[in-house]
């Protein structure tokens, strides 16, 4: 038998959220007319009904009072006693008999009472009108209404009924708050997931989605758990690959050492031929390559060093001295601008190696001048190394930091190497959770920028 699938939880949240929001708004707006109608047709209070009944009974007993101004005298007497009350006698055609001045409120109430078909009362802004009390005098039907001209508190919903624009604005605001709450509930874990993905893309392989997001019972929580599993697998594979490269490089050192030893013994025995010299040269190159690979593996794994809080100028002092000497030997000028008070937590050896690689490249390809400048802004440290050399083709700027990549453009391959120097530099900067990029300078030259967190 085919199993019935459970409904999508995230779908249910979205459905219930928007449904609840729209339902509350519709119910709130739709309920106001019903509340008004209920208030408009409130039952006639017994004491007011008794008052109208007494006046009607008096008119039935003495029909001559209808045209004698009795109602007006009775109203004046009530006013003198501090109990103002207006009475309205209405005939069968709906005409008010005892006054020619009929207020708008009374006309509205006559229509309400006619639709209600029973005695009711209604509170207007500054008066309470009630009635009718129906009776007959000499078989002629009459209706008696009353009005209390005093300010009485009105129900709260009348404020919203009379201020429709304000009510609409409050409805929009309420719906915005409810939808905003739903969007926050769904958007916050997604933002956490995005930030973790960005950190993983920057090379921070130990980044994981927080426990609040993974603890959710909906699809977002499942996605977060799946993402963490994927991140763990990627970290394990990358670290395994890096360790494998380091292990292989290390193991290659043993047969290479034997080869170099054999060559040294052959030279000692006088077997110095052109072939042996070539083998010796290639062995040296292979030894340097293995050294570069081991350095790249060490900087990438970065498992044995701890960060130290140290001045940048102090940390790079030896590298800068060597760079100045090398530039002087090539009749080039190097300008270094590093404030003495500039400090940051860093790995001294990897950072020194990264700056050394960049400076040596800049000195090699510069026409006459190299500049290294470091400055702090906000919570970042920016290091810029510029030269006035030929630069690099724009299409190759994003790939020069890849291992074994050497551009074939302005900076040709005549210098040798294996394209690992800039890869080691990028690995060192990534270990500091920083960024590195290159750009050409007009009219010619190259600028390499490093951004590190302070």
Q: Where do we find the tokens 């005093």?
A: 150
Helix 421-431 / helix 348-365 crossing angle, nearest 10 deg:
140
Contact 448, 377 (CB under 8 A): no
Let me know if 250 is a catalytic residue: yes
- Residues near 310 by beta carbon (within 8 Å), at least 6 away in sequence: 343, 344, 346, 348
| Angle at CA of residue 169, ends 163 and 10, nearest 5° | 140
Nearest-angstrom CA–CA distance, 87 and 75: 7
Would you give the DSSP letter of residue 345?
E
Give, in degrees to the nearest 5, the angle at Cα 180 between 177 and 185: 130
Name 83's Cβ contacts closer than 8 Å, sequence gap at least 6. Answer: none
Strands 140-148, 128-137: pairing kind: antiparallel
Which CA distances in Å does 82 have to 146, 303, 336, 379? 16, 96, 98, 78
Active-site option among 151, 250, 333, 444 = 250
Complete DSSP assignment for 216-264:
-SSHHHHHHHHHHHHHHHHHHHHHHHHHHHHHHHHHHHHHHHHHHHHHH
**303: closest CA among 255, 243, 244?**
243
Task: Tell me the CA distances in angstroms from 283 to 261, 264, 267, 268, 324, one per residue in order.
Answer: 11, 12, 15, 17, 31
- The answer to whether 21 touches 179, Cβ cutoff 8 Å, is yes
Distance CA 394, CA 410 (A): 11
Q: Are 63 and 137 in contact (CB under 8 A)?
A: yes
Closest by Cα among 32, 40, 31, 33 to 114: 40
Residues acting as catalytic residues:
250
């Amino acid at each position: 038998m085919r199993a019935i699938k459970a409904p999508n939880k995230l779908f249910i949240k979205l459905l219930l959220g928007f449904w609840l929001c729209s339902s509350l708004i519709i119910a709130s707006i739709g309920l106001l007319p019903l509340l008004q109608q209920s208030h408009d047709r409130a039952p006639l209070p017994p004491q007011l009904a008794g008052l109208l009944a007494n006046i009607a009974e008096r008119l039935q007993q003495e029909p001559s009072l209808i045209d004698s101004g009795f109602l007006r005298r009775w109203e004046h007497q009530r006013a003198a006693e501090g109990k103002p009350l207006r009475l309205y006698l209405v005939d069968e055609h709906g005409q008010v008999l005892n006054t020619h001045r009929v207020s708008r409120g009374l006309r509205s109430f006559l229509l309400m009472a006619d639709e209600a078909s029973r005695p009711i009362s209604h509170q207007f802004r500054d008066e309470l009108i009630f009635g009718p009390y129906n009776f007959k005098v000499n078989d002629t039907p009459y209706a008696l209404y009353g009005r209390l001209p005093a300010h009485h508190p009105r129900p709260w919903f009348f404020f919203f009924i009379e201020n429709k624009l304000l009510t609409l604005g409050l409805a929009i605001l309420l719906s915005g708050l409810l939808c905003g709450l739903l969007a926050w509930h769904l958007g916050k874990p997604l933002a956490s997931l995005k930030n973790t993905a960005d950190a993983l893309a920057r090379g921070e392989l130990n980044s994981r989605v927080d426990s609040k997001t993974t603890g959710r019972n909906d699809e977002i929580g499942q996605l977060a758990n799946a993402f963490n599993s994927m991140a763990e697998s990627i970290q394990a594979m990358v670290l395994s690959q890096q360790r494998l490269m380091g292990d292989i490089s290390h193991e290659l050192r043993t047969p290479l050492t034997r080869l170099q030893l054999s060559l040294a013994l052959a030279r000692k025995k006088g077997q110095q031929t052109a072939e042996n010299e070539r083998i010796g040269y290639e062995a040296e190159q292979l030894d340097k390559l293995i050294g570069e690979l081991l350095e790249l593996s060490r900087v990438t794994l970065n498992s044995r060093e701890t960060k130290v809080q140290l001045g940048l100028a102090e940390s790079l002092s030896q590298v800068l001295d060597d760079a100045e000497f090398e530039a002087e030997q090539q009749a080039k000028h190097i300008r270094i601008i590093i404030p003495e008070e500039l400090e940051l937590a860093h790995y001294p050896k990897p950072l020194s190696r990264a700056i050394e690689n960049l400076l040596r490249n800049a000195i090699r390809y510069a026409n006459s001048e190299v500049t290294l400048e470091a400055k702090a802004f906000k919570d970042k440290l920016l290091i810029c190394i510029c030269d006035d050399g030929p630069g690099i083709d724009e299409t190759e700027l994003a790939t020069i930091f890849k291992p074994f990549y050497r551009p074939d453009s302005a900076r040709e391959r005549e210098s040798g190497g294996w394209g690992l120097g800039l890869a080691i530099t990028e690995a060192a900067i990534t270990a500091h959770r920083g960024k590195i990029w290159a750009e050409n300078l007009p009219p010619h030259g190259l600028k390499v920028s490093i951004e590190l967190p302070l």
